[in-house]
Amino acid sequence: MYFLKLVILTYFTLTAFSLSFSIDQTPCTSDGWFGANCEYQCHCAGSAPCDKHDGSCSSGCHRDWYGPACQYARMNFTVNGNFNSGWLTDNKDTTCNRGNLRSVTVTLDTPIPLTWLRVVVSDAVNLNMMFISYRNESSPYTECPESNTAEINRVTIDISCPTEYPITSVTLSGQGVNYLCSLYISAGRNVALAQRAKQSSWFNYLDRKHFLAEHAVDGQVPNNERSSNFLTCTHTDTGDKSPWWNVSFTQPVEITRFILENRRDCCQERLKNFLLTVYPVNDSYKPIEYRGSYNIKTTYLVVPSPRISFPVHQVKITEGFNPDRILTLCEVFIFGEIHCPSNRYGLSCERECNCVNQTRCFVHSGGCPSGCAPGYTGLDCSEG
Ligand SMILES: *[C@@H]1O[C@H](CO)[C@@H](O)[C@H](O)[C@H]1NC(C)=O
Ligand SMILES: *[C@@H]1O[C@H](CO)[C@@H](O)[C@H](O)[C@H]1NC(C)=O
Ligand SMILES: *[C@@H]1O[C@H](CO)[C@@H](O)[C@H](O)[C@H]1NC(C)=O
Ligand SMILES: *[C@@H]1O[C@H](CO)[C@@H](O)[C@H](O)[C@H]1NC(C)=O
Ligand SMILES: *[C@@H]1O[C@H](CO)[C@@H](O)[C@H](O)[C@H]1NC(C)=O
């Protein structure tokens, strides 16, 4: 008896050990993905492969992405005013302003709530000589708090400046503008990718694994031509009286916008009028519903206004009473940030903050706006 128990124990210990060993030692092998479970998509310039452990790109990020592991969507904007601003829009940190500018205002292509931004200058002395403000069409300019900044390197600074409402423009002013090279405004990272997805029923087409719920979070969007790419979309079964699809997050998330990609080949009317519901982690908040547009679209954008104020653990999409009663989605992008416990950061909150007085660090970088705890140094306060 005792012997048997020992054998079983040893067996389990060994299995557990080889499991964690294999997770640590065998990085993701599928092309274009990284992380222990291939849960993150690479976003390198020229579609180059990224580092299989940390997602970093030796050739830099693709121009739509920036920040740690190139995981943050970069907001598109146009520069106001009549001057040569190519240095600000060329996506290069090495081309900088050399004129005499008092301020720069940029207008976002799509209004979204502000979360954080990154500024790069050519002269380290001027890193902190910059004031940032924002507005929307109906509000006056409001300044971002100066205290919520963390240096990334000698010429790069991150500024946390969350707003409740979508904003339309950002203004940089102060002496630092003369040395400005780049401005990155975060449009969030896709927190839906590779999360657990379910649907009310499944249309088992040709007995293959087409149309599964997880196809809406697999990072694949059909190209614009009519093509068989619809096989990477989801599809509820015919005869399903109340079709829905949902995604559950392994960790709570903070959400600023949703993008729903419709099929390209046919049946686009099935998605119009969908209902999108966000479920809070904390039961003392009520779920919030957003209604999709009555017009048929290839891509639906939903920007909650005001911003969703609570961490979310599930998002559900319900079909909107269309004649077919079928819900079919090609991709659901949910942009935002993971909601880490106050002392953690990283793509999956895997790292520990080391800020002075246990203040919060930036979730994307570990940077401490109020400085490192005694005994720690480095830009993410991780060297001790
Ligand atoms: C910025 O524009 C590019 C090119 O049109 C597009 O692929 C990208 O999704 C846009 N980014 C955002 C955050 O909207
Ligand atoms: C603009 O911001 C103000 C508050 O700053 C808010 O009340 C208003 O609803 C916002 N407008 C839009 C169109 O988001
Ligand atoms: C989402 O799907 C899971 C699995 O089927 C289910 O347990 C959960 O209740 C669903 N959530 C909502 C809000 O419908
Ligand atoms: C849920 O939210 C309420 C109201 O904000 C708060 O008092 C409570 O502590 C929260 N509960 C948990 C478990 O976070
Ligand atoms: C940390 O907390 C102590 C005691 O409350 C305070 O004196 C000190 O100024 C704080 N340090 C920072 C950098 O906030």
Q: Dump pLDDT digits (tens) for 200-221.
A: 999 988 878 889 999 999 998 8
Instruction: Quickly state the pLDDT bin for 222 (edges 50, 70, 90).
Output: confident
Answer whether 282 contacts ligand 4 (Cβ < 6 A). yes
Q: Which ligand is nearest to the CA of 63?
A: 1
Distance 384 CA to ligand 5 centre (A): 20
pLDDT confidence of residue 283: 94
User: Can you tell me which atom of ligand 2 is nearest the CA of 305?
Assistant: 14
User: Can you tell me which atom of ligand 5 is nearest the CA of 371?
Assistant: 13
pLDDT confidence of residue 228: 59
Pocket test for ligand 3, best of 196, 234, 240, 248 (most atoms within 8 A of CB): 248
pLDDT digits (tens, 9 = 90+) for 261-305: 999 888 999 999 999 999 999 999 999 999 999 999 999 999 999
Distance 20 CA to ligand 5 centre (A): 40
pLDDT digits (tens, 9 = 90+) for 157-173: 999 999 999 999 999 99
pLDDT digits (tens, 9 = 90+) for 241-263: 999 999 999 999 999 999 999 99
CATH of segment(s) 190-338? 2.60.120.260
pTM for the model: 0.91
CATH 2.60.120.260 location in the chain? 76-187, 190-338
Burial of 94 (0-12, 13-18, 19+ CB in 10 A): exposed
Is the model's pLDDT at 126 over the cut of 60? yes
Two tokens, residue 132: 């940032």
pLDDT digits (tens, 9 = 90+) for 86-108: 999 998 999 999 888 989 999 99
Could you confirm whether domain 76-187 is CATH 2.40.50.1020? no
> What gap in Å lies between CA 36 and CA 189, rounded to an integer?
18
Which residue, 90, 154, 143, is CA-closest to 120?
154
Is the model's pLDDT at 57 over the cut of 70? yes
Q: Around Cβ 187, how many Cβ atoms within 10 Å?
A: 21
pLDDT confidence of residue 226: 58
pLDDT confidence of residue 369: 93
pLDDT confidence of residue 285: 96
Is the model's pLDDT at 15 over the cut of 80? no
Mean of all residue pLDDT scores within the chain:
90
From first CA to last CA, the distance across the chain in angstroms is 49
